[in-house]
Structure 1
Amino acid sequence: MSGHSKWSTIKRKKGAADAKRGQIFTRHARMITLAAKQGGGNPEMNFALRLAIDNARNVNMPNDTIERAIKKGAGEGGADSVQSVVYEAYGPANVAFLIEGVTDNTNRTLTDVKQALTKNGGSLGQGGTVAWQFARRGVLSFPTSAKKDDLELALIEAGADEIEVQADMVVVYTAPDSLQEVQKALSEASVEVEDSEITMLPNDPVEVSEDDQRRVNQLVEALEEVDDVVSVTTTMSA
C-alpha cells in the first residue's frame, strides 16, 4: 500500500473552497446534468450519472434538486447549452494546471479563467501542452476503520492498482473503467464508500519551494472561485 497522498489533498482543498462560497449545489447539479445529457437519465444504465448523484447526496443536496438536474440533462430545460470544457495552463514555478468546467457560456468561462490566471501569475497554454502530464483515474475512499485483512486482495482482483492508507481513510486508485467493479467489491464487503469519482491526477508530481507552493495554492483558489470551474488539478506534489 502506498503512503503518498495525491487525491485526498485535492479533495480537502476543493471542499473547503466550495463550502466557503456556498456554490457546491450548483456545481453538483451541473455535473449531474452533463452526465445525464451524455449518457441518459437512468443511473442504473449510466455509471457517470450514478457517481454524480452519489456525490451530490454526500453533500446533502435535496432530492428534488437532483431530479431537476437529471431531467434537464435528459432533454428538459435547455440542457443542450451545457457542455464540459478543459483548459491547460501554467502557474508559478512552471507548475502545470488542468482546469475542468461545466458551462452554458464558453466565452464567459474562458474570460473568467484567463482573468484568474493573469492576476495570479499564471498563463493559458495551447491544447496539448499540459494534458499529457495528467491521467484520468478512478478514485474512491472509505474510512480506515472499515479496512479488513482480506479486503486489499479483493480490491486488487476487482481492478484496484494502488491503495493508499492514511490516518483516517483509505484511498483506492483504479483505471476509469474499473471503478465500478471496485466499488461493487467494497459494497459486497459491507464497506461504505465516502467519495467516488473519475478525475485527473498528475503522472509525476513535482516538489516546489514553500513560497511557490503558497503562490500555486493562491492560483488554485482563484480558479476555484470561477463559478463554472468544477476541478483544478496541478502537477505540484501534495
Structure 2
Amino acid sequence: MAKFKLFKDRKGKADQAKNNKFVKLGREIYVQARKGGPNPDANFGLKTAIHNARQINMPVDNIERAIKKASGNGENVEYDEIYYEGYGPGGVAIMVKCLTDNRNRTAADVRSIFNKRGGNMGESGCVAYMFDQKGILIIDREKFADLDEDILMMQSIESGADDIVTNEDSFEVLTHPHEFESVKSAMEAAKFEFSSSEVSWIPQNMVGVEGENAEKLLKMMDAFEDNDDVQDVYTNFEISDEEMARLG
C-alpha cells in the first residue's frame, strides 16, 4: 500500500488532489469497462472501480461518461498498464503503477520525477521482490465505531482472508490476490462495507527516513500524484510523526 497516501493534502491542495483522483479513477473505470464490459454486475473490476469512485464522491456523470466512452460512445483510447521501478533518496524502494496511452511520454515523465528528486529509475524487477501482492479491503473505524474486532476477524477468516491489520483509523482485511473477489463478495453479503478496496503491493519491510531524504521523498510523491498517468505508487518508507511535524 502506498505509504505516501498518508501525506496527501498536507500543503492545502485538497481540491486539486480530489480532481486528480477523479481523473485517475475515471481512467480506471474506462479500462475496466473496456476489459470486461459496461455492466458492473457482470464485471467485478468495473464494480470495484465504481465503488471506489463513489467513496470519494466522484460525480455520477463522470462515472457514466467513462463507461460510455469505453462502450464506443466517444473517444476510443487504449491504455496500457505499466509498472516502473526504482529507488528514492535513501535507497527506498518505489514501484509506480501507470495507465497510459503513450508509453514513451509516461516513461520520460516518471524517469524525470525520479531524477529531479534524488532518485533513479531502475530495470523491471529491481525492487518488486521487496513487495507482496495482496488484496486490501479497508474499513473506516470512525464510520463503524461499534464494529467488534473479534467478529470482523471471524468473518474475514470464514470468507477466506489471509489476515487483518488494525490501524488507528482503519481495519485492513488482506487477501491473496486471486481470492480478492470472493472474499469481498462474501463480506459484503455479511453486511460489511469498505471505504476502498484494491489489489495492491505491500512492502515486506519498512524503512524510516528523515531530514533531507524525507523532504525529497514527499516532493517526489506529490509529483507522482500530480501526473495523470500515475495510478498508484507503492513504497517502503515511513516518516515519524515528529519528523512530519518538523517538515510542516
Moved more, 177-186 or 28-37: 177-186
> Aligned-pair distance for 1:19?
4.1
- TM-score, length of structure 2 as denominator length: 0.83
Say if 2:156 is the partner of 1:155. yes
Amino acid at match of 1:23: N
Q: Extract unaligned runs of 5+ from structure 2.
A: 240-248
Decide whether aligned partners of structure 1 residues 129 and 184 sit closer, same or farther in structure 2, where only a CA change above 3 A counts.
same
User: 2: CA distance between counterparts of 1:29 and 1:214?
Assistant: 30
Moved more, 94-103 or 38-47: 38-47
- Secondary structure of 2:85's counterpart equals strand
Say if 2:16 is the partner of 1:20. yes
1:1-238 equivalences under 5 Å are 7=1, 9-13=3-7, 19-21=15-17, 22-144=19-141, 145-148=145-148, 149-237=150-238
- Alignment correspondent of 2:246: none
Moved more, 163-172 or 53-62: 163-172
- Secondary structure of 1:79's counterpart equals coil
Residues 198-220 of structure 1: CA deviation (Å, up to 9, x unaligned):
12222222333454333322222
Task: Report if the CA contact (8 A) 1:117-1:223 is conserved.
Answer: no
Task: Report if the CA contact (8 A) 1:18-1:24 is conserved.
Answer: no
Task: Report if the CA contact (8 A) 2:20-2:225 is conserved.
Answer: no
User: 2: CA distance between counterparts of 1:178 and 1:30?
Assistant: 24
Amino acid at match of 1:195: S
Decide whether aligned partners of structure 1 residues 14 and 73 sit closer, same or farther in structure 2, where only a CA change above 3 A counts.
farther
| CA RMSD, Structure 1 to Structure 2 (Å) | 2.3
User: 1: CA distance between counterparts of 2:6 and 2:151?
Assistant: 29
Task: Report if the CA contact (8 A) 2:3-2:238 is conserved.
Answer: no
User: 1: CA distance between counterparts of 2:138 and 2:30?
Assistant: 24
Residues 57-94 of structure 1: CA deviation (Å, up to 9, x unaligned):
11212222212212222344343432222111111111
- Secondary structure of 1:150's counterpart equals helix
Moved more, 76-85 or 188-197: 76-85
Residues 171-229 of structure 1: CA deviation (Å, up to 9, x unaligned):
11111222223323332332321111112222222333454333322222222222211
Q: Extract unaligned runs of 5+ from structure 1.
A: 1-6
User: 2: CA distance between counterparts of 1:208 and 1:15?
Assistant: 20
User: 1: CA distance between counterparts of 2:15 and 2:172?
Assistant: 22
> Aligned-pair distance for 1:166?
2.5
- TM-score, length of structure 1 as denominator length: 0.86
> Aligned-pair distance for 1:8?
7.8
Amino acid at match of 1:57: R
- Alignment correspondent of 2:245: none
> Aligned-pair distance for 1:168?
2.9
User: 1: CA distance between counterparts of 2:198 and 2:7?
Assistant: 16
User: 1: CA distance between counterparts of 2:72 and 2:202?
Assistant: 32
Identity of aligned residues (%): 36
User: 2: CA distance between counterparts of 1:8 and 1:95?
Assistant: 13
